[in-house]
Structures are given as C-alpha cells and as structure tokens.
Structure 1
Amino acid sequence: MARLRDPDTGCAWDVKQDFRSLIPYTIEEAYEVADAIERDDFDDLRGELGDLLLQVVFHSRIAEERGLFDFEQVAGAIGDKLVRRHPHVFADAKFDSDEQRQQAWETAKAEERQQKRPADADESVLAGVAQSLPALVQCEKIQNRAASHGFDWPAVEPVFDKVREELQEVHEAWQSGDQAHIHEEVGDLLLVAVNLARHLKVNPEIALREATRKFTRRFNFIEREVKASGRQLLDCELAELDALWNEAKRRLQSQ
C-alpha cells in the first residue's frame, strides 16, 4: 500500500484517495463479506475478507502518512480492547449468566466512551452511536444503550402490548388521511418492532434480511409458474397469485 500511495511511482487512483472517498468502498466490502457468509460460499468469503482487510490497510496507511497512527497501532488497539472486555477470560472475573456478561460488556464500553469523550461533549448515554448505520442496526444499538441504563420493559408481554398499541395508532393515522402523521406512526411501529425483536433475542437486521430472501424465493416460484403457463404476472388475478404464493410456501418450507 505504501508503494501504491507513492506520489511519484504509485497508482494515481490510490494516491488521490482519502478517508472520506473510501467510505463507500469500506461499507460495500463489509456487506460483501456478509453476503458470502449468507451464501455459505467460503471460497468467496476468503477473498471478501481480504478485500475488507485491504480497506483497513488503506485507511491505516493514509493515517500513517498524516502522522495519526499506523496499522500496528490499529491491531494493537483491538487486541487490548479484547483483553479489557473479556475479564472472565484474561482475568479472574466470574459471570453467572449471559446477562451478567452482557452487562459487564456494556459497562466496559461505557467506560471507554467516557474516557474518550471530550470534557464539553454530549453527556448522553446514547451519544456515539454512528449515524450512518443501517436504521435497524442503529435503532437496536440505541435501545440496548438505554436498556443498559435501566430504561427497558422488565418482561416481553408488555412489548407485545406496545406493538398492538402502535399498530392501532398507524390504523388511526391512516384513517385520518394525514400523510405526515402516518409517516410518524409507521416509524413508531418499526421502532417498537425492533424492541420486540431485542426482547426475543432476535437480531432484527438479520431477521429482516432472511425474511426478504424468503419472500424473494417465493415470488420467484410464482414467476416461474406463471411463465410456464405462457402468461405474465399482470395477466393473473390476485386470487390466483395468492394461491400460487400459498403453494410456494408449501413447497419451499425448508428453504
């Protein structure tokens, strides 16, 4: 990477990159790692992990050129963090449950944030959650932060009640015809749905991705069946498409 970044003998494209210009590539490579894992394509995963590692090397090299830090410090910092956050492995701490371990993890993260926070920075426990995260991931992280400081339902059943309440409010907003109100209430419904997933120990981002893939498989089945009949989707009545959907659910149960 040092040779690629050399202003005299390097690659013109690599030389002109900076932290900001690399943002879309870094995000893209992380998603491609996830895609390889979800496809169980481990040959591809090896390559995609290399591509993601390249992004770490690239950013580290730019930082080194600016006298900020280097790759060795990046690797050393994550090693130190892993030791610090696993006192039950690297020290003599004992946890009796996953809940205790998770609470200790969140406490350690909060202490790290406090140490890094400037004196005049936002004191909110929610500060520091990246604004560029996918909405579901950001929502879950913020709710976990709030929960770790006591703002949470003590059981699952009240969350179900809240989902029903928010769904009713969406319906009422729809009846009002106020699009801005509908927008707001749909957002509230999605937020409490993430909260329900969290209480049920389900990752909402992964669950939605899997549900979307399942929808895609079933819809593809419908497309194949309609094509086999010599027609197009728009030629079919909704009742027929719905029947094909149910057939897809039956045939593709294990997929």
Structure 2
Amino acid sequence: MTNIQRLLDIMARLRHPETGCPWDLRQDFASLVPYTLEEAYEVADAAERGDAADLREELGDLLLQVVFHARIAEERGLFTFEDVAGAIADKLIRRHPHVFGDTVFETDTERHAYWESSKAAERREKGKTEQEESTLSGIAPNLPALVAAQKLQKRAARFGFDWPEIGPVFDKVREELDELEAARATSDQSRIQEEIGDLLFVVVNLARHLEVDAESALRNGNRKFVTRFRYIEKQLAAQGKTLDESTLAELDALWDEAKRSLSNGCQS
C-alpha cells in the first residue's frame, strides 16, 4: 500500500458515519477553509525560512486538507481524490505544450502569453458568460489583499494599463499620501479607510515595478519586527523590567539597539 492510499484510507475511517471522529464528521467545504488557508501560509513560511524538515511536515498538513476536501466531495458523489490528481495532471500537460508536445516558444513572453490564453480558454469552458468574462476574471476574490492587488495590476498591465516607467509610480504614492492626510483632516472615517486602501494599492504597484513581491516583502517586514521586538523584551527582562514599566524613550532606544545589534548578526 502506498502512503497516499494509506492517507486516503485513514481519512475515510475518520469520516465513517458510525465509528469516525465527531469533529471530522462535522466538517464541510466551508468550515475547512480557514484551516486550508492557514496550512498554505505555514508552507510558505517554512519554504521562506529554508527549513526542510518543517517544510515536509507543513506540506503534509496541506495535503491533508486536499484529502479532506476530496473525501467530503466523494461522499457527496461530486469527485474523488483521483479526479483531483487527474485534473491537475491534464492541466499541466495542456499548459506545457513545449514540454509535452512539439510547440516551440522563442521567448518567455510567448510562453507566458500562451499560459494566459490557456487559462482564459479554460474559464470559457467552465461556462462563463460574455458578461462574466473579463480581463480580470479568474483572480480569486478571497486571496490575501496584497496578492490580489498584485495579480490585478499584472493582468491589467499586460493590456497596456500601466505606467511605462517607475517615476510616475513614486509620484502617485506621494499623491495618495497627500489625499490620506486631507481625509484625516475631515475626520471622515469611511473616507480615511478608502484613502488607506488607495495608498496600499499603489504601494503594491510600486513593489511590482521594483520587481518585489509585496506579500513576501510584508511577511519579511513582519518577521523583522517580531525579531526586534523580542530583542527589546529580552533586554528588559535582563534589567528586571517589563514593557509596562518602560517609557517610550527607553523602548525607542532599545529598538535602535536591536536594529544595530541584529543587523550585525549579533543575537544576544
């Protein structure tokens, strides 16, 4: 028995209506969504940290989510895990005619254009009406906002809706920041929120023009903040103090110390 079949059998037993696990039996497609998203992010974190052992474990957790969804679908007569594997195998072959066929792409641009046209054809085959079909179709609405913004901008840029150079993008960031300051002066919270959204969207555009993945950049920024903040906590603990007992000036001084110390590779 392969490990894949073993996993499928375990999931079938967990979902057995009489002898299965009550928690597993309560789950459906919608209830599993938060777990599926969480596992995908944990895979990303392990991959970015280069932790092979952790990555193997997290990939297993993500695979469990695929098996779980497929089992529920099989119980409802919709599809099986085998159908899922077969569909993605067919898609990979269809989208790589230069590997599995005789097609030759002279440039990455040609290859990418074929990839996008293939995806558009697949959307049409799914029964999208002319009204539903759009240049922006196929971008999942529940993606993380930074990821979605980047995908929307890339899709529009392929059809010429983009700044030809980076200078105007910097100008747009400054313009949106000015509009946010003007909104703040009105104390209109809905307008402030709207302007924050516009500013974040154009910052993602700036990242795209700089060939930086905005989501990865922010995750790295988050990790940097956590590392530096924990340094502050450690230094305060060594002094017998807590965050609550420290002034902002003291915390700022330790933050600057953390920046210097950690950038020099010193973790003490």
SS of equivalent residue, structure 2 residue 160: coil
- Which whole-Å CA distance do the structure 2 matches of 1:237 and 1:5 have between them? 55
> Comparing 235-244 with 47-56, which one deviates more in the overlay?
235-244
Q: State whether structure 2 residue 99 is matched by structure 1 residue 89.
A: yes
Relative to structure 1, is the Cα distance of residues 254 and 66 closer, same or farther in structure 2, using a 3 angstrom cutoff? farther
> Comparing 8-17 with 221-230, which one deviates more in the overlay?
8-17
Relative to structure 1, is the Cα distance of residues 219 and 114 closer, same or farther in structure 2, using a 3 angstrom cutoff? same
Relative to structure 1, is the Cα distance of residues 73 and 236 closer, same or farther in structure 2, using a 3 angstrom cutoff? same
Residue 211 of structure 2 corresponds to 201
Question: Residues 154-208 of structure 1: CA distance to partner in whole angstroms, max 9, x if unpaired?
Answer: 2222211111111111122223332222211111000001111112221111110
Q: With structure 1 as the length reference, what TM-score do the two structures score?
A: 0.88
CA RMSD of aligned residues (A): 2.3
Identity rate, percent: 62
Question: Residues 129-178 of structure 1: CA distance to partner in whole angstroms, max 9, x if unpaired?
Answer: 22222111122222222223332222222211111111111122223332
Map 1:117-136 → 2, pairs under 5 A: 117-119=127-129, 122-136=132-146
Q: Is the 8 A contact 1:88 1:95 kept in 2?
A: no
**Structure 1 stretches lacking a partner, 5+ long:** none
- Which whole-Å CA distance do the structure 1 matches of 2:185 and 2:44 have between them? 40
> Comparing 121-130 with 196-205, which one deviates more in the overlay?
121-130
Residue 42 of structure 1 corresponds to 52
Question: Residues 192-239 of structure 1: CA distance to partner in whole angstroms, max 9, x if unpaired?
Answer: 011111122211111101001101111222222233233333444433
Q: State whether structure 2 residue 153 is matched by structure 1 residue 143.
A: yes
Relative to structure 1, is the Cα distance of residues 254 and 147 closer, same or farther in structure 2, using a 3 angstrom cutoff? farther
Q: With structure 2 as the length reference, what TM-score do the two structures score?
A: 0.84
Relative to structure 1, is the Cα distance of residues 223 and 10 closer, same or farther in structure 2, using a 3 angstrom cutoff? closer
- Number of equivalent positions: 254
Q: State whether structure 2 residue 229 is matched by structure 1 residue 219.
A: yes
- Which whole-Å CA distance do the structure 1 matches of 2:230 and 2:23 have between them? 40
Q: State the Cα distance separating 1:36 from its structure 2 match.
A: 2.6
Q: State the Cα distance separating 1:5 from its structure 2 match.
A: 2.5
- Which whole-Å CA distance do the structure 2 matches of 1:165 and 1:29 have between them? 38
Q: Is the 8 A contact 1:103 1:148 kept in 2?
A: no
